[in-house]
Amino acid sequence: MSVVTDVVRVRVPPRTWRSEYRAIKIVWTRELIRFKADRMRIVTSLIQPLLFLFVLGSGLEQLSAASTGGVSLKTFIYPGILCVAVMFTAMFSAASIVWDREFGFLREMMVAPVRRSSIVIGKCLGGATVASFQGVILLALAGFVDVPYDPLLILGVFALQLLLAFSITAFGVMVAVRIKQMQSFMGVMQMIITPMFFIAGVFFPVANLPGWLTVLNRLDPLTYAVDPMRRLVFNHLDITPEARATLDPGVTWFGWRVPTALEVLVVLALGLVMLGIAIWEFNASE
Amino acid sequence: MAVNFSTYMTIPAIEVRDLKKSFGDVEAVRGVSFEVAPGEVFGFLGPNGAGKTTTINMLCTLARPTSGAAFVAGHDSVTERDDVRRNIGLVFQDQTLDGYLTAEQNLKLHAELYGVEPALVPARMEQVLRMVGLWERKDGSVMTFSGGMRRRLEIARGLMHSPRVLFLDEPTIGLDPQTRASIWRYIAELKEREEITIFMTTHYMDEAEFCDRIAIMDNGKIVALDTPEALKAEVGADRVRITTEDDEAAIAAIDERFGLEASMSEGAVTFLVESGEEFVPRLFAELGIAIKSVSVARPTLDDVFMRYTGSTIRDAEEDPGAMRNRRIMQVMAGGRR
């Protein structure tokens, strides 16, 4: 029945850096293929951020108009929403590890002659990529909230989103290795992610908060993504210095203003630590 | 290439030395040793939970032996895990395909993970897909495939990187007879065309006949190992099955009058006796209990299995031994990651 007569014999060469690179790349590609195939996911994960931005933003604007120094509330919460949108998508990407286990596919990757770390890294990069793609859609809406389309701004926002998405995916993968069921995974992620984004200062300036909230806010890793994002966007706005000072006070540690670079470093460092833990957990499992 | 292969031909494809695996205080595999020659089709036969899958998992580097050693394609399954993995193809009992991807994408992903030379991927892919009759469906999403098509695709994928040893864990379980037959056809074809050793587990007796050699596993141990023919010859006797007015009394009477050990199996009094056809007239004359039906069969692997384990493979799965296996499953489910 077969028409091919000569047997094509391939041999698998010993592991090299190149084979690890190929493994990372194919795991990354798979995330992209799946994201493209799953159009519903693109739409559903956009709904929540859009609701916050346009419904909550427009609604509360009527109360806040007096105190924002002429800046629209939508403009104020926009940087935070850029972060939140990425966060939800990244979380979904990490969730696919749980699916992969449930449908057996994880096993196919686990028995391959490559480092487990390559699989985790590919997964995190894939999650980061699709999440930033999601972020780009929101970035396109800048004009609706009076934020200019400045190439430098767009580039900066994209870089920040990529970083945040990577860290969140690493966090999600770290959790997903331990949790076997989709429902529990979603539950756990909701439990962690929801408070994180309420506390991070997406909807309020982070200065002059009650003491307890200040402490929680400074402990929340997401704070260190939202704050640089807001500074970046506000750098490109034409507003009064008073409004800027009120709306973008910056994060302080015991009165010391934390530099933007350090904030970004915090997000990166946390992401790498969680990636490390995820790899370690993956290696430890049979 | 030929040189590489001939050196490979001189060492056993699989060598197992006193392999043991315990889950807590439950011993799933209790010291097995065997060798599989290159090019052989080697069958592991036994009821569900006899320790077949646990053994296969140890050979495939998926489980660590409690003690003993296993070498696959000359590499130690514990210390040279990656070398073992490069040289083996795996088809699991449960499916491990990505349903969101097409057949072709699944194979491509596998080739990349295994580092197959990119220039050879398209040709190899066409070959394995044609072999399992899925070439025309290569762009189809796996989600739309039937169970049989998925199993065929998994076999194609397991072959994608030209493994030296292909492990098939219950490759035909849950498939219709037609698909089962076609999978056996691929295996026969494979044996002929590729320089490959096939290690498989099954609990279908009729399928074990396709193997060059068979190891019968029961309760974590190998109880017999030989070619199907030799194993059958060793049984020698024919299998006689009778139904009677009083089966209990018939078993006692067979023991008393003929010195044969009979047992109830699948609803009939069953025993082994040499030259079964000639024995039947004596049975009717001397048993003293009314016989309702009788059948005589030449020895099959089922009889081999019965001889070594004292029960048929189906009965064994209902057995108290199965309770032990269920416990192993529970321990494994609880202990897994």
C-alpha distance from B271 to closest chain A C-alpha (Å): 43
Partner-chain contact A109 B113, CB within 8 Å: yes
CA-nearest of B107, B163, B166, B99 to B134 is B107
pLDDT in tens, chain A (286 residues): 444 456 777 777 777 888 899 999 999 999 999 888 888 878 888 888 899 999 988 888 888 776 777 788 899 999 999 998 898 888 888 888 888 888 888 888 988 999 999 999 999 999 999 998 888 889 999 999 989 999 999 999 999 999 999 999 999 999 998 888 888 998 998 899 889 989 999 989 998 889 999 999 999 999 999 999 999 999 998 888 888 888 888 898 988 999 999 999 999 999 999 999 999 998 887 6
| Segments of chain A assigned E as strands | 252-253, 256-257
Q: What angle, rounded to 10 degrees, do the helices at B301-309 and B228-235 form? A: 60
Partner-chain contact B62 A285, CB within 8 Å: no
Of A111, A177, A178, the CB nearest to B60: A111
C-alpha distance from B220 to closest chain A C-alpha (Å): 21
Q: Is A9 on the interface with B (CB under 8 A)?
A: yes
CA distance B276 to B101: 56
Partner-chain contact B92 A4, CB within 8 Å: no
Q: What is the pLDDT of residues B190-206, one digit of tens each?
A: 888 888 999 998 877 77
Partner-chain contact B114 A105, CB within 8 Å: no
Is the separation of the CB atoms in B102 and B140 below 8 Å? Answer: yes
Partner-chain contact A286 B162, CB within 8 Å: no
Backbone phi, psi, residue B48, to 5°: -55, 130
Of all helices (H) and strands (E), which one includes residue A102? helix A73-102
- At position A75, the amino acid (one-letter code) is T
Backbone phi, psi, residue A107, to 5°: -60, -40
Is the separation of the CB atoms in A244 and A102 below 8 Å? Answer: no
Q: Is A34 on the interface with B (CB under 8 A)?
A: yes
CA-nearest of A223, A228, A225 to A201 is A223
pLDDT over 90 (residue B184): no
B319: Cα separation from own chain's centroid? 20
Distances (CA, A) of B204 to B178, B197, B208: 15, 20, 7
Q: Is A32 on the interface with B (CB under 8 A)?
A: no
Q: Which residues on A lie below 8 Å from B60 (Cβ)?
A: 111
What integer pLDDT is reported at residue B309 of this predicted model? 77
CA-nearest of A18, A28, A17, A19 to A122 is A28
C-alpha distance from B180 to closest chain A C-alpha (Å): 17
What integer pLDDT is reported at residue B334 of this predicted model? 47
Q: What is the interface size between A and B, counted as CB pairs within 8 Å? A: 124
CA distance B196 to B159: 10
Q: Which residues on B lie below 8 Å from A26 (Cβ)?
A: 108-109, 112-113
Give the nearest chain B residue to A107 (CA atoms). B96
What integer pLDDT is reported at residue B135 of this predicted model? 94
* Strand-pair category, B41-45 with B197-202: parallel
